[in-house]
């Protein structure tokens, strides 16, 4: 809107200060824009490789959000780093026969490189072993302690007299009181998954010396969370009950309702940040305390590296702080760390978008069972192969966002990955861009053709409208942390582009234009129609590059290369514009954005996963490629349990009670009986292999349980519609499975 003509003659200062801004100029989101953003992603623990469940849970959604904010030209800093303290580090060092320092150096290096390889664009990827972090954590502890916000308590803990050291929970092994597994750790049984305390272990032994530990008194500092219940109730359960995800609020509520306890801030260990008190010799800060402070240290380090001021990011209320995490981290980021921040005088997080878990091929991802796909594996097997490269990075990012576990657990399957890439990225998005470029070179001399406004029809207007509307929709979804839906909208816009092009058929118009009987006027008219279609399709390509950029930055980069435009075109404010590419501008020859994933590639991955997986710790029977389909030989008389299914699998089976109305032998088939079964709503014919166990007379009138939705099958020329459930005893005799007392035929069984 041009306000200037009406304001001519009015001094500019008055316009700037007093002229009310037309409400159309401001959209909803820009009304209360924070001055700056600080985005964090959970610090990965540097004791091993990280898998794609981690990537999908915290790093990828954070990266999408940050790339979007950057495209909006907002002031944003994206921090992360390796969490390098805690007992698991020295334990991993023992396993690998090396030092804790060597372990963190190794895994910090690998994880940092993995993130870079998968286009996760941290402003800094720091580490908690850095001097800045040690100093920041000690200052944090000292301030809380001096302010009387910590308590000390004397307790008895296990001590190894040979090794002369207190034992962290992980250093104690014993028999699990729950399942009897004899190598359960002092904090958890890896076989049955129960959380334990060392006191619960039967016959505890120190893993350092192999001797039973003794109890010894020790003093520790605690954060009394119970003092902050009222604040947490108000802040989370009232103030954020609507804008935080339901899973986060729900988990917090159950923690708070369960009664908040004082939590030990220090522990007896020699790996970590020394407690800055003379009386705390031999103690370090608990890793849960120092790790989140790592976000602050990383911001400081980023500021040092870039000559910036870090303090506004942690103290100014105009900063929007957002923690991206997985659901196992909710309590630390939504309850404990905010209490620490509040006591320390910092700002609190505005949101804590937490994701549920990502399963893999029908099972939970597990490092101990090696049922996982590490970021490193994907990089080796796809990105770094000859036909790989950045497009495979985007393929993974695309699928992980499509199945993002935003509200419930979701599942990565190789077939799903292949389908997403081949049927959506290649067939919809890539296909549209490619066709637009191919046709432009064929029909408009490789140049952006003019738009003939007077010829625009309803379909043209509809398409241009969709482009404008898509921006606002995607923006709202991204601002609300709904990345899955936002990405869907981008693909959907490309889908509409394909449909538009298909309906406009510029290639048919080209034929008509070149037809022998076409007059020069007719040819020119057809060309103008082609121009309009191609102009709109090319402007749509430019818009798609902007909109896909937060999700698939490598594809966006390739698109601006093909369009020969500068990176600045990707600024979010340009989305929705129909003037991104100038008329007459020549673009490059088409190149495919994505390649298909072949059957062979996914079969290779499925085989690799099954062949490399390990049994559950302590499980005697090896369950490798085909878990327990063959009968287990060491348990005579019992067949092994079939592989776990999900409730959804079970729910597909329709079981109902039926009453046998009639039964007769099937000719020339000793084992088969032909039954008529009343199912309540209809009478079914079912052929059942029970003739050797029952005579027809004795079973008429009996109730049975029928699998009602089993596909029909012909036996001896008779179509059988369903199956009757039977139990087989040790002697091989069959028994009907049926309700305890007579009920209506057709009653459901579940």
**How far is the C-alpha of 482 from the C-alpha of 442, rounded, in Å?**
40
Report, in Å, the least distance between residue 648 CB and Zn ion: 28
Only segment of 186-194, 476-484, 694-702, 734-742 that touches Zn ion (CB under 5 A): 186-194
Build a one-symbol-per-residue string for 61-90: x at contacts with Zn ion by CB under 5 A, - elsewhere: ------------------------------
Only segment of 92-100, 189-197, 471-479, 668-676 that touches Zn ion (CB under 5 A): 189-197
Only segment of 45-53, 64-72, 181-189, 318-326 that touches Zn ion (CB under 5 A): 181-189
- 3-class SS string, 292-333: HHHHHHHHHHHHHHHCCCCHHHHHCCCEEEEEEEEHHHHHHH
Closer to Zn ion by Cβ: residue 205 or 575: 205
Closer to Zn ion by Cβ: residue 176 or 597: 176
Q: For the chain, report the end-to-end CA distance as a whole number of angstroms.
A: 64
Only segment of 180-188, 217-225, 456-464, 476-484 that touches Zn ion (CB under 5 A): 180-188
Which of 189, 330, 383, 575 contacts Zn ion by CB under 5 A? 189
Calculate Rg over the CA atoms of the chain: 33
Closest CA to 256 of 281, 268, 238, 278: 238
Q: Does 580 bind Zn ion (CB under 5 A)?
A: no
**Can you tell me whether residue 707 is helix, strand or coil?**
strand
Q: Residue written as tokens 């930055």?
A: 553
Only segment of 174-182, 299-307, 398-406, 463-471 that touches Zn ion (CB under 5 A): 174-182
Closer to Zn ion by Cβ: residue 200 or 381: 200
Report, in Å, the least distance between residue 622 CB and Zn ion: 20
Tokens of residue 284, six digits? 């370090």
Closer to Zn ion by Cβ: residue 178 or 367: 178
Going by the DSSP 8-state scheme, the letter that residue 25 receives in this structure is T
Q: How far is CA 533 from CA 227, 430, 446, 494, in A?
A: 66, 18, 14, 15
Report, in Å, the least distance between residue 183 CB and Zn ion: 10
Which of 181, 255, 289, 399 contacts Zn ion by CB under 5 A? 181
Closer to Zn ion by Cβ: residue 178 or 476: 178
Report, in Å, the least distance between residue 641 CB and Zn ion: 18
Report, in Å, the least distance between residue 200 CB and Zn ion: 10
Closest CA to 60 of 403, 416, 475, 320: 403
Report, in Å, the least distance between residue 187 CB and Zn ion: 12
**How far is the C-alpha of 718 from the C-alpha of 98, rounded, in Å?**
70
Tokens of residue 96, six digits? 């690998």
Closer to Zn ion by Cβ: residue 114 or 207: 207
Report, in Å, the least distance between residue 214 CB and Zn ion: 25
Closest CA to 142 of 274, 260, 267: 274
Going by the DSSP 8-state scheme, the letter that residue 40 receives in this structure is E
Report, in Å, the least distance between residue 204 CB and Zn ion: 14
Strands 151-160 and 165-166 turn out to be antiparallel
Closer to Zn ion by Cβ: residue 10 or 202: 202
**Can you tell me whether residue 578 is helix, strand or coil?**
coil
Closer to Zn ion by Cβ: residue 79 or 184: 184
Tokens of residue 71, six digits? 């495209």
**How far is the C-alpha of 639 from the C-alpha of 629, rounded, in Å?**
9
Name every residue whose Cβ is closer than 8 Å to that of residue 586 and which is 6 or more positions away in sequence: 445, 446, 447, 448, 564
For residue 281, list its beta bridge partners. Answer: none
Only segment of 169-177, 199-207, 340-348, 584-592 that touches Zn ion (CB under 5 A): 169-177
Closer to Zn ion by Cβ: residue 175 or 574: 175
**Can you tell me whether residue 160 is helix, strand or coil?**
strand
| In 591-725, beta strands by DSSP E | 655-665, 673-678, 683-688, 703-707, 713-715, 718-720, 723-724
Report, in Å, the least distance between residue 182 CB and Zn ion: 10
Only segment of 162-170, 172-180, 245-253, 627-635 that touches Zn ion (CB under 5 A): 172-180
Closer to Zn ion by Cβ: residue 191 or 496: 191
Only segment of 41-49, 182-190, 365-373, 708-716 that touches Zn ion (CB under 5 A): 182-190
Instruction: Using alpha carbons only, give the angle 236, 242, 248 rounded to the nearest 5 degrees.
Output: 55
**How far is the C-alpha of 368 from the C-alpha of 363, rounded, in Å?**
13
Closer to Zn ion by Cβ: residue 191 or 484: 191
Build a one-symbol-per-residue string for 192-211: x at contacts with Zn ion by CB under 5 A, - elsewhere: x-------------------
Residues 295-334 that bind Zn ion (CB under 5 A): none
Name every residue whose Cβ is closer than 8 Å to that of residue 363 and which is 6 or more positions away in sequence: 371, 644
Report, in Å, the least distance between residue 666 CB and Zn ion: 51
Q: Does 179 bind Zn ion (CB under 5 A)?
A: yes
**How far is the C-alpha of 715 from the C-alpha of 668, rounded, in Å?**
12
Only segment of 147-155, 185-193, 282-290, 657-665 that touches Zn ion (CB under 5 A): 185-193
| In 161-301, beta strands by DSSP E | 165-166, 172-175, 184-185, 202-206, 214-224, 262-264, 266-268, 283-285
Closer to Zn ion by Cβ: residue 174 or 272: 174
Q: Could you give the count of Cα atoms lying within 13 Å of 383 in the half-sphere of its Cβ?
A: 20
Report, in Å, the least distance between residue 178 CB and Zn ion: 4
Only segment of 176-184, 242-250, 281-289, 573-581 that touches Zn ion (CB under 5 A): 176-184
Closer to Zn ion by Cβ: residue 112 or 369: 369
Report, in Å, the least distance between residue 189 CB and Zn ion: 3
Q: Does 178 bind Zn ion (CB under 5 A)?
A: yes
Asked if 342 and 348 count as a contact pair (C-beta separation under 8 A), the reply is: yes
Report, in Å, the least distance between residue 177 CB and Zn ion: 8
Only segment of 91-99, 105-113, 170-178, 367-375 that touches Zn ion (CB under 5 A): 170-178
* Count of positions on this chain that bind Zn ion (CB under 5 A): 7
Report, in Å, the least distance between residue 619 CB and Zn ion: 12
Only segment of 191-199, 233-241, 632-640, 674-682 that touches Zn ion (CB under 5 A): 191-199
Closer to Zn ion by Cβ: residue 199 or 719: 199
Burial level of 262, CB count in 10 A (0-12/13-18/19+)?
A: middle
Closer to Zn ion by Cβ: residue 179 or 455: 179
Sign of CA dihedral 24, 29, 35, 37: negative
Q: How far is CA 120 from CA 291, 440, 531, 638, 674, in A?
A: 20, 34, 39, 50, 64
Report, in Å, the least distance between residue 332 CB and Zn ion: 25
Report, in Å, the least distance between residue 191 CB and Zn ion: 5
Closer to Zn ion by Cβ: residue 179 or 725: 179
In 275-430, which residue ranges form alpha helices assigned H by DSSP?
A: 287-306, 311-315, 330, 337-344, 375-378, 390-402, 414-420
Closer to Zn ion by Cβ: residue 178 or 366: 178
Build a one-symbol-per-residue string for 100-139: x at contacts with Zn ion by CB under 5 A, - elsewhere: ----------------------------------------
Residues 352-381 that bind Zn ion (CB under 5 A): none
Catalog residues that contact Zn ion under the rule CB under 5 A.
176, 178-179, 181, 189, 191-192
């Amino acid at each position: 809107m041009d306000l200037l003509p009406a304001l001519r003659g009015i001094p500019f200062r008055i316009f700037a200060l007093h002229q009310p801004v037309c409400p159309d100029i401001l959209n909803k989101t820009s009304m209360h824009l924070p001055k700056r953003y600080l985005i964090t992603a959970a610090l990965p623990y540097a004791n091993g490789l990280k898998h794609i469940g981690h990537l999908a849970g915290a790093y990828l959604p954070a990266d999408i959000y940050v790339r979007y904010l950057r495209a909006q030209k907002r002031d944003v800093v994206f921090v992360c780093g390796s969490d390098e303290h805690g007992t698991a580090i020295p334990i991993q060092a023992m396993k690998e026969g090396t030092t804790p320092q060597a372990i963190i150096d190794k895994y910090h290096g690998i994880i940092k490189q993995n993130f870079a390889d998968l286009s996760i664009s941290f402003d800094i990827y720091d580490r908690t072993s850095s001097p800045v972090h040690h100093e920041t954590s000690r200052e944090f502890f000292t301030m809380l302690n001096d302010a009387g916000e910590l308590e000390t308590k004397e307790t008895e803990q296990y001590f190894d007299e040979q090794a002369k050291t207190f034992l962290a929970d992980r250093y104690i092994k014993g028999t699990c009181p729950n399942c009897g597994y004899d190598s359960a750790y002092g904090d958890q049984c890896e076989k049955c998954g129960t959380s334990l305390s060392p006191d619960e272990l039967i016959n505890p032994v120190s893993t350092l010396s192999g001797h039973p530990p003794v109890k010894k008194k020790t003093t520790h500092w605690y954060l009394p969370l119970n003092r902050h219940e009222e604040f947490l109730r108000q802040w989370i359960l009232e103030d954020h009950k609507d804008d935080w995800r339901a899973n986060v609020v729900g988990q917090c509520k159950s923690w708070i309702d369960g009664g908040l306890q004082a939590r030990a801030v220090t522990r007896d260990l020699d790996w970590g940040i020394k407690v800055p008190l003379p009386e705390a010799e031999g103690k370090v800060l608990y890793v849960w305390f120092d790790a989140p402070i790592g976000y602050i240290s990383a911001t400081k380090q980023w500021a040092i590296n870039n000559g910036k001021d870090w303090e506004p990011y942690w103290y100014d209320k105009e900063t929007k702080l957002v923690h991206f995490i997985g659901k196992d981290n909710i309590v630390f980021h939504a309850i404990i760390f905010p209490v620490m921040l509040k006591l320390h005088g910092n700002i609190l997080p505005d949101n804590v978008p937490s994701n549920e878990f990502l399963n893999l091929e029908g099972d939970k991802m597990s490092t101990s069972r090696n049922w996982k796909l590490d970021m490193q594996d994907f990089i080796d097997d796809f990105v770094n192969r000859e036909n790989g490269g950045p497009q495979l990075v985007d393929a993974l990012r695309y699928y992980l966002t499509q199945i993002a576990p935003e509200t419930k657990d979701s599942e990565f399957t190789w077939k799903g990955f292949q389908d997403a890439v081949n049927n959506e990225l290649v067939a919809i998005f890539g296909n549209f861009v490619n066709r637009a470029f191919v046709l432009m070179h064929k029909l408009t001399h490789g140049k952006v053709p003019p738009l003939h406004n007077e010829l625009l029809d309803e379909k043209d207007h509809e398409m241009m409208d969709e482009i404008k509307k898509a921006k606002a929709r995607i923006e709202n979804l991204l601002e609300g942390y709904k990345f899955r839906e936002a990405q869907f909208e981008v693909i959907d816009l490309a889908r509409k582009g394909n449909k538009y092009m298909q309906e406009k058929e510029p290639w048919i118009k080209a034929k008509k234009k070149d037809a022998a009987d076409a007059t020069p006027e007719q040819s020119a008219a057809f060309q103008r129609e082609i121009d309009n279609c191609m102009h709109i399709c090319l402007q749509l390509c430019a818009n798609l590059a902007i909109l896909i950029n937060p999700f698939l930055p490598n594809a966006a980069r390739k698109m601006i290369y093909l369009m020969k435009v500068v990176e600045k075109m990707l600024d979010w404010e340009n989305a929705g514009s129909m003037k991104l590419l100038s008329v007459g501008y020549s673009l490059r020859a088409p190149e495919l954005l994505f390649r298909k994933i072949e059957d062979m590639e996914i079969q290779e991955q499925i085989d690799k996963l099954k062949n490399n997986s390990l049994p559950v710790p302590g499980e005697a029977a090896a369950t490798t490629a085909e878990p327990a389909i063959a009968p287990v030989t060491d348990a005579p008389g019992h067949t092994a349990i079939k592989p776990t299914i999900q409730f959804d699998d079970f729910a597909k089976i329709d079981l109902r009670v039926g009453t046998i109305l009639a039964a007769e032998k099937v000719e020339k088939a000793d084992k088969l009986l032909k039954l008529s079964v009343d199912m309540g709503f209809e009478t079914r014919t079912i052929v059942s292999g029970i003739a050797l166990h029952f005579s027809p007379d004795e079973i008429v009138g009996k109730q049975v349980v029928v699998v009602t939705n089993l596909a029909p099958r012909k036996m001896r020329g008779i179509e059988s519609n369903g199956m009757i459930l039977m139990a087989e005893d040790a002697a091989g005799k069959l028994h009907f499975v049926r309700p305890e007392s007579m009920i209506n035929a057709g009653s459901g069984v579940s």
